[in-house]
Structure 1
């Protein structure tokens, strides 16, 4: 095999270690065990691998910059994530560069290309889609350069990366089960994108709650959303126009909740009196206005802190053969009255 026919992924696979470990060996880092060092060097000799000099110069950078990539800068959820990230980063002397992809994969590719021009120490990203091969390739390339990547809230179809997620399925299961407990039988959901882990997990929780309580799945009550206000608004109007509209709606994220409320307000429907609503993720602004929406809540700043801590571990310790850590934080159902069965639904 020629010298450059092998790549760092093949070296890592052959040696049975992480890409980060291969990068450390190539760049003569001391944070590598003797056992891992020997395995990597054996694989390097087997494949006659010669590392790219540009990659080596980038990976040995002493930068204190962390690149954070989010899909929606207007969503308060990501502001809270950033709050957690920066709190830990500030304590450890790192500063954050923020990039927005606007839930667009082409924009995400452009952002990741631009980030190569910065001397970044590490990257935290909430990817647009799990299934985009271009994004996965670019993220693997950063790891090749010795720039570790942590996935936050969403994932990609690869085990190479550390990730921080929450138990979305269990949270939605608890919420829909509560709706059923108080008497709802016509329960709709406005979903998130199927290409994202949160979208799929939250829909799975909805299905599981119906199944466990012996309720049929009504396809017309399952409305495809995109985690954005406008789509949720249109889908809510369509639900309310049905001959048998739902008595309750589960909204799959905070922006979806805004869309539902916009439609309910336009139709003159009072949440908790005319129709029930439970959302995923709390909305501080509504609480300040005494607009009490029941939600599946989670500690969003803590998610950001955990992501930054995982990145720091990658900077500071030998990861050996570990393919990727996965931190799963819990959710909590907060009931504030908007889940109750309206009077109009009690006869059905």
Structure 2
């Protein structure tokens, strides 16, 4: 553990207030005393906290970023977009990973509030039909600019940058229908999130418009995790009346899906056609080319940080701004039907 201001004061034989005046270059301090304090700082190898310095001046130059899974390359790209714009604006980032757990998200929000950061960009966990008063009260008590990215919170009107996930779910399913598939499964995200709900709405809409019956046994509830995609795909492959295609609503679940296919010595798309969500560079590197819905996470991050900076700088502070980006489909052949 590093040295503290108390350690410096003790070593220099002065008060905490005198040390504070030297650290913040404020108020009069005798040159002899200043030299003692600076020598103590050097001897103790003291590094002042940027947050502590900022708090003393009421100008913390740091924002909080909350994501549900830091190991997922999709959120890594969102963070990259945020950091590129933040660096241009001279802002620092404190990153929080929630592991898709509501209690961790609440804890992160409370830490951000305690440290009085300049603002927060977050991909929320909660967004479903259940109203959670503790969750909403925590967010509303932050008293700082908030920008949501990639996922919305139902019943809220926070500023945010989102994806048209109904269109994403529709386009992925409609593509498979155009290829001749009628038995199409979906592995959803967490249905407590509005994103996953919207993707499922898009899936059902495509089936209905093409006069294909929605089959409950083809709707699999996932959670964006690799292991879930793997287990569900194993189940799909073992079904007696199995689907010929599947829409997989996250890149990590798609990776799990591919893992299960390889283990079962099944081929894509001959044994099961797949349309995933978001790019997985690892699959490209090993020669597995999957068709996927692309929503440009780096651009999402850049747009979210630009929006937050507008609020921090006082521009359009009373205007609610909500941008919705339209996804595109990148065709790589995994949507084809078995001939």
* Interval containing the TM-score (normalised by the shorter chain): 0.7 to 0.9
Structure 2 counterparts to residues 81-92 of structure 1, below 5 A: 81-92=78-89
Q: CA deviation at 1:267?
A: 1.1
Residues 48-89 of structure 1 deviation map (CA, whole Å, 9 limit, x = unaligned) = xxxxxxxxx97x931110100011111110100000000000
Q: Which has the higher contact order (CA 8 A, sep 6+)?
A: 1
Structure 2 residue ranges without an equivalent (≥5): 1-53
User: Counterpart of 2:107?
Assistant: 110
Structure 1 residue aligned with 2:241, among 232, 240, 244?
244
Structure 1 residue aligned with 2:250, among 245, 248, 253?
253
Residues 123-168 of structure 1 deviation map (CA, whole Å, 9 limit, x = unaligned) = 001111125432221111112xxx1111111122344410110111
In 1, distance between residues paired with 2:135 and 2:122?
11
* TM-score, with length taken from structure 1: 0.78
User: Counterpart of 1:281?
Assistant: 278
Change (3 A) 1:170 1:62: same
| 3-state SS of paired residue (1:296) | strand
User: Counterpart of 2:329?
Assistant: 333
User: Counterpart of 2:32?
Assistant: none
Is 1:231 equivalent to 2:228 in the alignment?
A: yes
Structure 1 residue ranges without an equivalent (≥5): 1-56, 344-348
User: Counterpart of 2:310?
Assistant: 313
User: Counterpart of 2:136?
Assistant: 136
Structure 1 residue aligned with 2:63, among 66, 72, 88?
66
User: Counterpart of 1:272?
Assistant: 269
Q: CA deviation at 1:178?
A: 1.2
* TM-score, with length taken from structure 2: 0.80
Structure 1 residue aligned with 2:289, among 286, 292, 295?
292
> RMSD between aligned alpha carbons?
1.8
Greater CA deviation, 180-189 or 127-136? 127-136
In 2, distance between residues paired with 1:157 and 1:173?
21
User: Counterpart of 1:16?
Assistant: none
**Does the Cα contact within 8 Å between 2:294 and 2:327 map onto a contact in 1?**
yes
**Does the Cα contact within 8 Å between 1:281 and 1:298 map onto a contact in 2?**
yes
| 3-state SS of paired residue (2:323) | strand
Q: CA deviation at 1:320?
A: 6.0
Q: CA deviation at 1:318?
A: 4.5
Is 1:176 equivalent to 2:173 in the alignment?
A: yes
Q: CA deviation at 1:193?
A: 1.2
**Does the Cα contact within 8 Å between 1:123 and 1:150 map onto a contact in 2?**
yes
In 1, distance between residues paired with 2:149 and 2:291?
24
**Does the Cα contact within 8 Å between 1:136 and 1:156 map onto a contact in 2?**
no
**Does the Cα contact within 8 Å between 1:179 and 1:248 map onto a contact in 2?**
yes
